Amino acid sequence: MSSNHLILDAHELKQHYHVKQGVFKPDAVVKAVDGISFKLEKGKTLAIVGESGCGKSTLGRMLTMIETPTSGRLEHLGEDLLSLSKSAQATLRQKIQIIFQNPYGSLNPRKKIGSILEEPLVINRQLSKAERKAKALSIMAKVGLKAEHYDRYPHMFSGGQRQRIAIARGLMLDPSIIVADEPVSALDVSVQAQVLNLMMDLQTELGLSYVFISHDLSVVEHIADNVMVMYLGKVVEQGSKEELFNNPKHPYTLALLSSTPQLSPDKRRQRIKLQGELPSPLNPPSGCAFHGRCQHANERCQQEVPALREDQTDHLIACHAVEEQRIEFSHAV
């Protein structure tokens, strides 16, 4: 990967929370994100996939500096965000914006759309009222909203329109990176496709880079260039979209893909049912965190944490069963 095209470089990011468990119990440490590394290229989309509770939304908040990582490095165009002064961080943060899952929850119901969109400009830019309005109307047009929507309130819009408003707000400060946290999961399937197509058009037009957080692999297949699969705070598999969808290796990735609906009979996979629930991050299992739900687990899996190894160029997998060739991959094609 050429360093000229690298816009975000995360190295061993961790987010650990100390949790009080009561008077007579010692404090527990929840490792919500536990040593995540990835690289994001300009104009590309990295999808982060996993079940609820795997740490993907926490990672999204760390990338936008809503939460400061416990440790690790986060470089934007070669500059480590975590080592900058607060004022320098605030300036750089404008280049990394976030879009949340629930567009209605993230829009102030008492403010008109024009006011909501202009708020970031009021705080961060020295512009006149007329200049702010012109910028808001310009961005509204880009996301498919009409000029008359400027004076309306959020409740007057459909879910898809509200998400367009949320995307427009994310674009107001001309960011280079958008972190999209489950941006279409609250929308009808027909509207999901419209919003995803809009995001892809904006990416081409504005040269945006996306970190796209989702639990839905059918959505990810539509928009991603690279995919990172997370399980209980760690990466279990990482690679290009083509490699991950055509040649998945980790048992967890295989299970996620097998549960994704496919219209084409050629693409349908043998259904793999996961046993049990995602373990509690308060009391994670020893060894591989996935071993309690994995049909290929053995004693080594119960005791030893698997390292993220390169299976082939840029395809990383953390699995003892794959390393020891204990899995038959004929059903994965």
* Cα-Cα-Cα-Cα dihedral sign, residues 246, 249, 255, 256: negative
Lowest pLDDT segment from 117-121, 165-169, 265-269, 285-289: 265-269
Q: Contact 281/232 with Cβ under 8 angstroms?
A: yes
Strand partners, 33: 15
Number of domains in the chain: 1
Q: Is residue 205 part of a domain?
A: yes
Q: Is residue 245 part of a domain?
A: yes
Predicted confidence (pLDDT) at residue 240 exceeds the cutoff of 90? yes
Q: Is residue 105 part of a domain?
A: no
Strand partners, 71: 14
Which of 117, 157, 154, 152 is closest to 134 using CA atoms?
117
Strands 226-231, 234-240: pairing is: antiparallel
Q: Contact 89/81 with Cβ under 8 angstroms?
A: yes
Q: Is residue 240 part of a domain?
A: yes
Predicted confidence (pLDDT) at residue 87 exceeds the cutoff of 70? yes
Kindly report the pTM of this predicted structure: 0.91
Strand partners, 226: 46, 240
Residue 263 maps to which CATH number?
3.40.50.300
Q: What secondary structure does DSSP assign to 159-209, as a single string? A: HHHHHHHHHHHHHTT--SEEEEESTTTTS-HHHHHHHHHHHHHHHHHHT-E
Q: Is residue 84 part of a domain?
A: yes
**C-alpha–C-alpha distance, residues 20 and 23, integer Å:** 8
Stretch 286-313: mean pLDDT: 90
Count H helices and E strands in the chain, helices first.
11, 12
Q: Is residue 118 part of a domain?
A: no
Residue range(s) defining the domain that contains residue 323: 3-95+175-332
Over pLDDT 90: what percentage of the chain? 65
Q: Is residue 55 part of a domain?
A: yes
Stretch 114-125: mean pLDDT: 94
Q: Is residue 215 part of a domain?
A: yes
Kindly report, residue by residue over 131-142, the tens digit of the pLDDT. Answer: 999 999 999 999
End-to-end CA distance of the chain: 27
| CA 92 from centre of chain | 19
Report the mean per-residue pLDDT for the chain.
Answer: 89
